Copies of this chain bind each other. A is one copy, B any other.
Amino acid sequence: MLLEGYKPFTSPIGKGHRGIINGTNSFHLIQTCPSSSARAGELVTPHGIVPTPVFSPVGSQATVKTMTPEELKNIGITMVVANTYHIYLRPGISVIETIGGLHQFMAWDRTILTDSGGYQIFSLARLREVSDQGVTFRSHIDGSQHLITPESVIQFQESLGADVIMVLDECPSYTDSLEEVRQATERTHRWAERCQRSQSRSDQALFAIVQGGVFPELRRKSASFLTSLGFSGYAIGGLSLGEPKVLTQAIVEETVAWLPESKPRYLMGVGSPEDIVKCVTKGIDIFDSALPTQVARKGALFTWQGRYNIRNSSYSQMREPIDPDCDCYTCRNFSVAYLHHLFKCQELLAYRLATIHNLNFMNTLMNRIRNAIVNGTFSTFRDSFLANYQPTDDNLRLAQKQKWLDAWNHRKVSKS
Question: A95 in the interface, Cβ–Cβ < 8 Å?
Answer: yes
**Which residues, 36 to 70 on A, are CB-close (under 8 Å) to B?**
61-63, 65-70
Q: Are A106 and B319 in contact (CB under 8 A)?
A: no
What's the minimum C-beta distance from A113 to chain B, rounded to whole angstroms?
A: 19
Q: Are B67 and A349 in contact (CB under 8 A)?
A: yes
Q: Are B100 and A319 in contact (CB under 8 A)?
A: yes
Q: Are A90 and B348 in contact (CB under 8 A)?
A: no
The size of the chain A interface, using a CB distance under 8 A, is 39
Taken together as a complex, chains A and B put the C-alpha atoms of A70 and B333 apart, in Å, by 10
Q: Are A99 and B65 in contact (CB under 8 A)?
A: no
Taken together as a complex, chains A and B put the C-alpha atoms of A172 and B107 apart, in Å, by 49
**Which residues, 329 to 359 on A, are CB-close (under 8 Å) to B?**
329, 333-335, 337-338, 340-342, 344-345, 347-349, 351-353
Contact flag A347-B63 (CB < 8 Å), given A98-B319, A100-B319, A317-B98: yes
**Which residues, 86 to 116 on A, are CB-close (under 8 Å) to B?**
90-91, 95, 98-100, 105-107
Which of B90, B334, B344 is within 8 Å of A344, CB to CB?
Answer: B90
Taken together as a complex, chains A and B put the C-alpha atoms of A358 and B92 apart, in Å, by 28
Which of B66, B95, B329, B335 is within 8 Å of A349, CB to CB?
Answer: B66
A70 CB contacts on chain B under 8 angstroms = 329
Q: Are A62 and B105 in contact (CB under 8 A)?
A: no
What's the minimum C-beta distance from A3 to chain B, rounded to whole angstroms?
A: 12
Taken together as a complex, chains A and B put the C-alpha atoms of A107 and B338 apart, in Å, by 9
Q: Are A99 and B329 in contact (CB under 8 A)?
A: no
Q: Are B66 and A99 in contact (CB under 8 A)?
A: no
Contact flag A95-B333 (CB < 8 Å), given A63-B347, A341-B90, A348-B66: no
**Which residues, 1 to 16 on A, are CB-close (under 8 Å) to B?**
2
Q: Are B99 and A338 in contact (CB under 8 A)?
A: yes
A107 CB contacts on chain B under 8 angstroms = 333-334, 338
Q: Are B333 and A91 in contact (CB under 8 A)?
A: no
What's the minimum C-beta distance from A386 to chain B, rounded to whole angstroms?
A: 33
Question: A227 in the interface, Cβ–Cβ < 8 Å?
Answer: no
Question: A316 in the interface, Cβ–Cβ < 8 Å?
Answer: yes
Q: Are A105 and B335 in contact (CB under 8 A)?
A: yes
A334 CB contacts on chain B under 8 angstroms = 107
What's the minimum C-beta distance from A81 to chain B, rounded to whole angstroms?
A: 16
Q: Are B347 and A65 in contact (CB under 8 A)?
A: yes
What's the minimum C-beta distance from A156 to chain B, rounded to whole angstroms?
A: 16
Taken together as a complex, chains A and B put the C-alpha atoms of A236 and B70 apart, in Å, by 40
A333 CB contacts on chain B under 8 angstroms = 2, 68-69, 107
